[in-house]
Chain A
């Protein structure tokens, strides 16, 4: 047996889950898709006292269309969201990004919310959540709370130990979108990934991988929006990026800061090109 011993609970409701988290603050981990957590358990990089398997909680696997937002539960799998017509139409950019996440078999099991809150450097979906202004519904024993994406996956932020993220709320925003990334190997976390999405009213850009957590780039977005349908030069994008770069450039064993800085404008350019060529979903 590879994982270290843990106790296992299989709650049937969100309320029951919140109770377990409150009782074991900091010592419990939630298991949804498990595509990131189980490898950590197997390598004993995560050794929770209690593993709370939320997979049997009813109703969390739904993608619901509300008047001004799309409500997605904690058990919505990445492949399910990728294949959803509603998501493709109303949350422009999410499906484009999901197509780059891991590989089809991992996406069958991995959840959208699990990927978002793991918030590993370079995670594609975090750029989408920040660019689109997604919000998270958190549940703890004391009650429910709604947080903006940057409060949960922004620099230095994480999910409070006693809370469970039950839903993510995506604003309905039919738009054109383009996504592109450079990774060491297809399906692995990108070195740098870029999302560009545009409506008649505004343009948004966010990058994953350049900084420790995803970076929203309003200056680049303005430049791309004003030039549409022509895509600004890489040099112009690089200049705009220096204005947007408010955090230190990320560096790890896979890739240093210099290359990330160098490739980011080119990746953004490709994403903008894809956005320009895409048809509006509106």
Chain B
């Protein structure tokens, strides 16, 4: 089995690891980089739960090989304060507080990917209208909330 050495910055920490070439980035992050906050659900790019930021671009971690992240910086849910550009208040960022306030999660499985993607989305588009929010949410499956509360939570934090 072919393995390669990779160097990755994960949530600000530089890591080196030897990984099989067929290891998915999502599995690498959870199993070798200790990113317990990253959730893996469908494993083939449909649900959006494993969304991370790779060199400033939001991507599905399950649709990349770990070797493809060689030399890159990865930000998971643990980097949410950096992604939102503000310090958490009582442990929660503004987006997390809004999700809590509007009950935008129940089981919470889809939430890390949703928060990471939404933080990037709002950074590029601070005052999205409802249509833009719906387009953004198109890439995320949530089986609990019915989306109404997620939409409300995002609408509440937009500029």
Contacts and interface: CB of A to CB of B under 8 A. Distances in A.
A6 B21 CA distance: 8
A185 to B, nearest CB: 9
Contacts, number: 88
B119 to A, nearest CB: 13
B64 A106 contact: no
| Band of interface residues on B | 20 to 34
Interface string B5-24: 00000000000000011111
Interface in A216-250: none
B82 to A, nearest CB: 19
A5 B20 CA distance: 9
A33 to B, nearest CB: 8
B2 A8 contact: yes
A106 B51 CA distance: 10
A38 B23 contact: no
Interface string A35-71: 1001101110000000101010000000000000000
B117 interface: yes
B45 interface: yes
A10 B63 CA distance: 17
A103 interface: yes
B59 A1 contact: no
A104 B21 contact: no
| Band of interface residues on A | 20 to 34
B63 A39 contact: yes
A43 B24 CA distance: 13
A133 interface: no
B139 A103 contact: yes
Contacts of B65: 8, 31, 34, 38, 53
Contact of A103 (B21, B68, B135): B135
B67 interface: yes
A35 B63 contact: yes
B37 interface: no
Contacts of B139: 102-106, 187
Nearest to B60: A105
B143 to A, nearest CB: 15
A109 B63 contact: yes
A140 B1 CA distance: 28
Interface in B103-146: 117, 121, 135-136, 138-139
A84 interface: no
B86 to A, nearest CB: 23
A5 B1 CA distance: 7
A16 interface: no
A257 interface: no
A42 B64 CA distance: 11
A282 interface: no
Nearest to B125: A104
A34 B44 contact: no
A49 to B, nearest CB: 11
A255 interface: no
B67 A8 contact: yes
A51 B27 CA distance: 19
Interface in A154-184: none
A2 B24 contact: yes
A8 B136 CA distance: 33
Given A39-B45, A42-B43, A108 B136 contact: no
Contacts of B24: 1-3, 38, 42
Q: Which of A8, A51, A53 has the most CB of B within 10 A?
A: A8
Contacts of B60: 35, 105-106, 109
Contacts of B48: 105
Contacts of A7: 2, 21
11 contacts: A3-B24, A7-B21, A34-B64, A38-B44, A38-B65, A39-B63, A43-B44, A104-B136, A105-B51, A106-B45, A108-B59
